[in-house]
């Protein structure tokens, strides 16, 4: 009876996917018009595997840039300990793809992962025949997971997170989520809170653990200070106060620019580094800046010949360097209901952190940073200007906040090594 229920559940899911296929393809075409990188390698999204991809790999699926950056040190360690084993790393976005190539190069095979259509997943698995599938964070795709399990491929979910909001959604879809989560061999969570939410969804407690977040183990590039010094000179920022608004989304850039206008009334030389989550939006943001009678330039342009009010980040992989130029960091995706982005990166650089109220993607990290006094929440452009202005005016306060942020990051390290030990224990020799 149980297997019949699972069969009927997945059949209904697959039927819904077939109905959605024309919409998915149309959306991909429209996305490609806005972001030309989505037009390339389109066949990979429907299961076509590039000729150079070798079968029998340990397969990591890292979705986008953030997950790729987080997984890279773990994969590098596994490459060192398993030199005869080949690895495949897939993403869903061009920005994730760029990070894989930048951080792992030709030491791994790389392509896009297939969309969760049965024909695409089967085609992909038939060509790659992975030894193990390792999913990052919240990549719970029913067809992919069930097809892998049916072919005897162990599936692991690492650095897993499950926000309260997501848990409620999975609970409403328990008819689908329970059988899918039930076949995952182990779920390594970022915190005990995330672990409990998976258990509440019906996952066997013996198959769940809390190993911490591998994002705390981010290592700064050895040449970061040199890169930052060169970029600071190129952008003509040597003697100017600077604040950064990073990983921003539509709907919050307007508020950030209004806050910057308020701040410049007190600090006329202040520069804002405005870094959208998606670099292709740089031109639109520049037009918005111009509407407020502020001067701007893109970070990719050559040496600055003048002084600009706003610099818009438009280079993928440049965020850490831009953080290094700032005195105060605002983390975006938080003044809109996106859930916030990674506050660990500015924390590792010893910056005081400011963000909006929508922080559910990193709730536990935010709680630790807030408790340590390293993180300030704001709900409007006025509050943002007030908090950032206070920190810019008080060197001792921002240095204290920054040191506390760094302390939180350092004290939570070690998840990469623990996850490595878990994966090693699950690999059949």
Residues 134-171: tens digit of each pLDDT: 999 988 999 999 999 999 999 999 999 998 989 999 99
What does the pLDDT read at residue 330?
98
What does the pLDDT read at residue 12?
85
What's the CATH fold of domain 43-212+414-426?
Rossmann fold (3.40.50)
What does the pLDDT read at residue 6?
66
User: Is the predicted pLDDT of residue 2 greater than 60, yes or no?
Assistant: no
| Confidence grade of residue 11 (pLDDT, cut at 50, 70, 90) | confident
What does the pLDDT read at residue 207?
97
Residue extent(s) of CATH 3.40.50.11720 domains in the chain: 43-212+414-426
Q: Are 256 and 355 in contact (CB under 8 A)?
A: no
Mean pLDDT of 329-349: 96
User: Is the predicted pLDDT of residue 66 greater than 90, yes or no?
Assistant: no
What does the pLDDT read at residue 5?
63
| Confidence grade of residue 1 (pLDDT, cut at 50, 70, 90) | low
What gap in Å lies between CA 296 and CA 311, rounded to an integer? 5
Count Cβ atoms below 10 Å from residue 27 Cβ, excluding itself. Answer: 12
Mean pLDDT of 287-300: 96
pTM higher than 0.85 for the full model?
yes
What gap in Å lies between CA 262 and CA 383, rounded to an integer? 10
Note every long-range contact of 361-365, with CB atoms under 8 Å and residues 24 or more positions apart, other chains counting. 361/161, 361/163, 361/333, 363/163, 363/164, 363/193, 364/190, 364/191, 364/193, 364/194, 365/213
Residue extent(s) of CATH 3.40.50.2000 domains in the chain: 224-411
What gap in Å lies between CA 201 and CA 162, rounded to an integer? 10
What does the pLDDT read at residue 3?
58
Catalytic residue among 35, 44, 67, 301: 67
Q: Quick one: how far is CA 298 from the chain centroid? A: 23
Residue 132, both tokens: 């193990």
Kindly tell me the sign of the dihedral angle through the C-alpha atoms of 97, 345, 326, 295. Answer: positive
Q: Are 351 and 375 in contact (CB under 8 A)?
A: no
User: Is the predicted pLDDT of residue 428 greater than 80, yes or no?
Assistant: no
193 as an active site residue: the answer is no
What gap in Å lies between CA 92 and CA 255, rounded to an integer? 30
What gap in Å lies between CA 35 and CA 27, rounded to an integer? 12
User: Is the predicted pLDDT of residue 125 greater than 90, yes or no?
Assistant: yes
| Confidence grade of residue 293 (pLDDT, cut at 50, 70, 90) | very high
Q: At what angle do helices 2-34 and 174-182 cross, to 10 degrees?
A: 100
User: Is the predicted pLDDT of residue 4 greater than 70, yes or no?
Assistant: no
Q: At what angle do helices 142-150 and 2-34 cross, to 10 degrees?
A: 130
| Beta bridge partners of residue 246, listed in sequence order | 275, 331
What does the pLDDT read at residue 329?
98
129 φ/ψ sector (left φ>0, alpha ψ -120 to 50, else beta):
left
What does the pLDDT read at residue 302?
85
What does the pLDDT read at residue 33?
86
What does the pLDDT read at residue 8?
72
Mean pLDDT of 250-261: 97
**Which of 28-32, 350-354, 391-395 is least confident?**
28-32
Say which residues have a Cβ less than 8 Å from residue 218's Cβ, sequence separation at least 6: 69, 70, 73, 344, 345, 348
Q: Are 186 and 422 in contact (CB under 8 A)?
A: yes
| Confidence grade of residue 111 (pLDDT, cut at 50, 70, 90) | very high
Q: Which residue has the higher pLDDT, 198 or 10?
A: 198
Mean pLDDT for the chain overall = 94
User: Is the predicted pLDDT of residue 35 greater than 70, yes or no?
Assistant: yes
**Which of 31-35, 78-82, 99-103 is least confident?**
31-35
Does 224-411 carry CATH code 3.40.50.2000? yes
List pLDDT tens digits, range 210-253. 999 999 999 888 899 999 999 999 999 989 999 999 999 999 99
């Amino acid at each position: 009876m149980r297997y019949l229920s699972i069969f009927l559940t997945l059949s209904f899911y697959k039927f819904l996917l077939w109905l959605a296929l024309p919409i998915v393809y149309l959306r991909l075409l429209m996305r490609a018009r806005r972001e030309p990188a989505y037009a390339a390698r389109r066949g990979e999204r429907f299961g076509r595997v590039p000729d150079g991809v070798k079968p029998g790999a340990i397969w990591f699926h890292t979705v986008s840039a953030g997950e790729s950056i987080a997984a890279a040190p773990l994969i590098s360690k596994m490459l060192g300990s398993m030199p005869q084993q080949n690895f495949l790393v897939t993403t869903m976005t061009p920005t994730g793809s760029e990070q894989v190539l930048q951080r792992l190069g030709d030491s791994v095979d790389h392509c896009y992962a297939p969309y969760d259509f049965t024909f695409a997943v089967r085609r992909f698995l038939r060509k790659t025949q992975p030894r193990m599938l390792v999913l990052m964070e919240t990549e719970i795709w029913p067809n992919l997971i069930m097809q892998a399990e049916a072919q005897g491929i162990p599936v692991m979910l690492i650095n897993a997170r499950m926000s309260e909001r997501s848990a409620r959604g999975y609970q409403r879809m328990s008819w689908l989520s329970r059988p899918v989560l039930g076949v995952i061999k182990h779920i390594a969570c970022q915190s005990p809170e995330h672990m409990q939410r998976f258990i509440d969804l019906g996952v066997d407690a013996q198959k769940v653990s809390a190993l911490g977040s591998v994002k705390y183990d981010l290592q700064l590039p050895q040449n970061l200070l040199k890169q930052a010094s060169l970029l600071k000179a190129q952008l003509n920022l040597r003697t100017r106060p600077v604040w950064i608004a990073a990983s921003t989304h539509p709907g919050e850039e307007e508020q950030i620019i209004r806050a910057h206008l308020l701040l410049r009334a007190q600090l006329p030389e202040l520069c804002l580094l405005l870094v959208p989550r998606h670099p292709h939006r740089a031109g639109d943001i520049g037009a918005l800046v111009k509407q407020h009678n502020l001067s701007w330039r893109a970070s990719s342009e050559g040496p600055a010949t003048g002084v600009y009010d706003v610099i818009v980040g438009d280079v993928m992989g440049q965020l850490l360097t831009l953080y290094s130029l700032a005195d105060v960091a605002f983390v975006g995706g938080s003044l809109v209901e996106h859930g916030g982005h990674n506050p660990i990166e500015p924390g590792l650089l010893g910056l005081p952190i400011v963000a909006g109220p929508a922080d559910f993607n990193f709730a536990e990290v935010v709680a630790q940073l807030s408790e340590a006094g390293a993180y300030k929440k704001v709900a409007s452009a006025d509050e943002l200007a007030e908090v950032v202005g206070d920190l810019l005016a008080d060197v001792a306060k921002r240095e204290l906040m920054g040191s506390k942020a760094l302390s939180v990051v350092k004290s939570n390290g070690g998840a990469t090594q623990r996850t490595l030990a878990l994966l090693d224990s699950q690999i059949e020799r």
